[in-house]
């Protein structure tokens, strides 16, 4: 079979590999779709400390169980299920968390093995009728978005700002609407990508410059109830604090580069305005199941966000599209 393996930064190869065999407690999947994301692009450029090459990449996975044909979606982040955090229900911050495509071979392959650890935490979800494999693969990033908005308490009547018009930003816009937001504003410094995203998700306003000033103007000087930084930019996080309304909630959704993780924050704004700043780290198995239900119910449409479908030999073209911001969602069909 064909696989796409990471060997070193800048070195991903489409290679031949033996078809894998499932061991005790494992599940063999015929991969039908594995979508790409910004993390794949970062791994291609810089590698990752959890990846010991060679490793088959890909963590947004949907396919069929070999032998039965059951249509399934597979989680990416694997909590251990037994540590203190997991026992307290805090699976997204499990200190022993592992990941598909990092610790285990992922979905850029014709076939893959789902480890027993995934099944032990209910990490394989049946795809609802009417949901395609490509749509199901988007359940994983939507699950992360769901975790972030739950932590930020996005709800009825909120004015929500989403900073970053990539695929995650588009999912944030749609989920915020599904959760009852009154208005959603989309911000990006890349005007071309902003226009492409806005044409799909129709935010109430688009902002490509002076975001603090523009958000205050749009809200009559009040600021936004929720600001979500769906971009790996310290400037966005600093601006988010300045544009939040009193008792506003700020989600630092996008992590910053490891070599530049610090920002300047006016803590008096946090103090006097009673702001809440929350992080967001991946998703739990339950978030993945809920994301599939949202997609199946039409509450968060995702099919139109998939702008490119490529065969496995073109995986590097897909990663390049993601890196350049020339696509919303790219899915690989092995």
Angle at 254 between CA 45 and CA 63, to 5 degrees: 70
Helical H runs in 154-284?
167-178, 191-201, 211-218, 234-243, 267-273
Question: Which residue matches tokens 């523009």?
Answer: 214
Q: 124-126 and 71-74 as β-strands: parallel, antiparallel, unpaired? A: antiparallel
pLDDT tens track for 35-46: 999 899 999 999
d(CA 327, CA 308) in angstroms, rounded, equals 7
Contact (CB, 8 A) for 5 and 97 = no
- The dihedral through the CA atoms of 298, 303, 304, 306 has a sign that is positive
Per-residue pLDDT, 52: 93
What's residue 259's pLDDT? 87
Model confidence pLDDT, tens digit, residues 211-241: 999 999 999 999 999 999 999 999 999 999 9
The rounded radius of gyration (Å) of the Cα atoms in the chain is 20
CB 97 within 8 A of CB 76: no
Would you state the structure tokens that stand for residue 18, as one six-digit string?
């033996």
**244-248 contacts at long range (C-beta below 8 A, 24 or more positions apart):** 244/269, 244/273, 244/275, 245/159, 245/219, 245/273, 246/222, 246/273, 246/274, 247/273, 247/274, 247/275, 247/276, 248/223, 248/224, 248/273, 248/275, 248/276
pLDDT of residue 294: 98
Alpha-carbon distance of 243 to 221, in angstroms, equals: 9
Residue ranges of E strands in the chain: 2-8, 11-16, 27-35, 55-56, 60-65, 71-74, 77-78, 98-99, 111-114, 124-126, 159-163, 183-187, 205-207, 224-229, 244-252, 276-279, 306-311, 329-333
The residues pairing with 306 across neighbouring beta strands, listed in sequence order, are: 329
- Structure confidence at residue 121 (pLDDT): 97
pLDDT of residue 59: 97
Structure token digits, residue 318: 């897909």
pLDDT, residue 142, reads 98
Give yes or no for a cis peptide into 54 (omega within 30° of 0): yes
Please give the pLDDT value at position 191: 92
Stated pTM of the model: 0.96
Structure confidence at residue 257 (pLDDT)? 86
pLDDT along the chain (334 residues), means of 10: 96 97 97 95 92 96 97 98 97 97 97 98 97 98 98 98 96 98 97 94 97 98 98 95 98 92 95 97 96 98 96 96 92 97
């Amino acid at each position: 079979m064909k696989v796409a393996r990471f060997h070193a930064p800048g070195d991903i190869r489409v290679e031949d590999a033996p078809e894998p065999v499932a061991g005790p407690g494992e599940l063999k999947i015929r991969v039908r779709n594995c979508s790409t994301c910004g993390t794949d692009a970062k791994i291609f450029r810089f590698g990752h400390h959890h990846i010991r090459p060679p490793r088959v990449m890909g963590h947004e996975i949907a396919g069929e169980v070999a032998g039965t044909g059951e249509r399934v979606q597979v989680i990416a982040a694997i909590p251990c299920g037994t540590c203190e955090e997991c026992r307290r229900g805090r699976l997204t911050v499990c200190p022993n968390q592992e990941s598909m495509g990092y610790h285990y071979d992922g979905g850029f392959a014709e076939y893959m093995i789902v480890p027993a650890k995934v099944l032990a935490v209910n990490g394989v979800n049946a795809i609802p009728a009417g949901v395609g494999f490509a749509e199901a693969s988007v359940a994983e990033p939507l699950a992360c978005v769901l975790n972030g908005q739950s932590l930020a308490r996005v709800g009825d009547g909120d004015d929500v700002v989403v900073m970053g018009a990539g695929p995650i930003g588009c999912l944030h816009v749609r989920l915020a609407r599904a959760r009852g937001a009154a208005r959603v504003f989309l911000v990006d410094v890349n005007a071309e990508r902003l226009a492409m995203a806005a044409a799909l998700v129709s935010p109430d306003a688009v902002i490509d410059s002076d975001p603090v000033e523009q958000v205050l103007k749009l809200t009559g000087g009040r600021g936004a109830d929720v600001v979500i930084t769906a971009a790996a930019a310290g400037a966005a996080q600093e601006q988010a604090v300045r544009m939040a309304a009193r008792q506003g909630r700020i989600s630092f959704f996008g992590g910053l580069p490891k070599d530049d993780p610090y920002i300047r924050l006016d803590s008096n704004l946090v103090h006097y305005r009673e702001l809440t700043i929350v992080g967001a780290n991946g998703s739990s198995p339950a978030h993945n199941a809920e994301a599939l239900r949202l997609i199946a119910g039409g509450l968060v449409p995702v099919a139109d966000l998939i702008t490119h479908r490529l065969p496995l030999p073109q995986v590097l073209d897909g990663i390049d599209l993601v890196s350049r911001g020339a696509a919303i969602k790219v899915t690989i069909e092995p």
